[in-house]
Amino acid sequence: MDKDLKLEEKLKKIRELLKNSKAAYALTGAGISTESGIQDFRSPKSGLWQKANPEEVSSIRAFEEKPAMFYQFWYERYKTLKKASPNITHYFLAELEKKGLIKGIITQNIDSLHQRASSIKVLECHGSFKYGYCYRCKKKYLMKDVFEKYEKTGDFTCEECKSPIKPNVVLFGEALTADFQEAWEKIEKECDLLLVLGTSLLVYPVADLVSIAKAKKAKLIIINRDLTPYDDDADVVIHNELHKVISKLDTLVFQERAVKH
């Protein structure tokens, strides 16, 4: 009973912080999409990096030197992403944006589930798996088409110059996207509330956005299953599965509408 009461008080505080904010942003990580069936990277038992060495399958060096191994890994990833659908947290954030309670979403995810949930302003710090381009001639492709061809023929090369097609995602050894630079500017210039969802805040430089927000005196909310290095800096911290928290928060913030499941 005491635990439930404590959670309810935290949710009410989050509602008030959102209501009183003028320039709130959400920062999301892999934990927001695990409930859509997409594995995260660092969970001790189920994370992708428990099964594969990221330097061998997800680095720019791996793509350049061993593209066949690279594609074998990313094809399996594609099959998972293809089946995934937005969950309640994606829809909740889309509704927050629609109602003007947040100005946009900054995400580390490459799955485009925020956009599929109808979010408009989405800054993708690590790129998007939706598109790709030829590593040599820069011809653009839909990765859906690339992987359908790969599934049938094993071919992952450009139809023009026969060089490998690279998914438009940030690999280990690459710089972050222009979206990340825009996110940094938004946090530094105007953010007064940062809502952090489903990220361990262990991946830099994206995690530095939290430090920037706090340096600008922004309020900080963290909802994540596990501890983060920034918990002590937060105005509200909740450690729980996202769907359990967001389903309650959704009802509290949008009492007039039915909760999407």
How far apart, in whole angstroms, are the C-alpha atoms of residue 158 and residue 164? 6
Query: Are the C-beta atoms of residues 26 and 91 closer than 8 Å to each other?
Result: no
How far apart, in whole angstroms, are the C-alpha atoms of residue 213 and residue 190? 9
Count the Cβ atoms, other than its own, within 10 Å of residue 164.
18
Torsion over CA: 197, 177, 79, 115 (sign): positive
Which of these is catalytic: 90, 114, 126, 239?
A: 126
The question of whether 126 is a catalytic residue gets the answer: yes
How far apart, in whole angstroms, are the C-alpha atoms of residue 194 and residue 19? 13
How far apart, in whole angstroms, are the C-alpha atoms of residue 114 and residue 154? 30
Distance of CA 106 to CAs 178, 199, 217, 254, Å? Answer: 12, 12, 19, 22
How far apart, in whole angstroms, are the C-alpha atoms of residue 163 and residue 220? 45
Residue 140, Ramachandran bin (φ over 0: left; ψ between -120 and 50: alpha; else beta): beta
How far apart, in whole angstroms, are the C-alpha atoms of residue 88 and residue 198? 13
Sole residue written with tokens 């094809």 = 75
Task: Give catalytic residues, as residue numbers.
Answer: 126
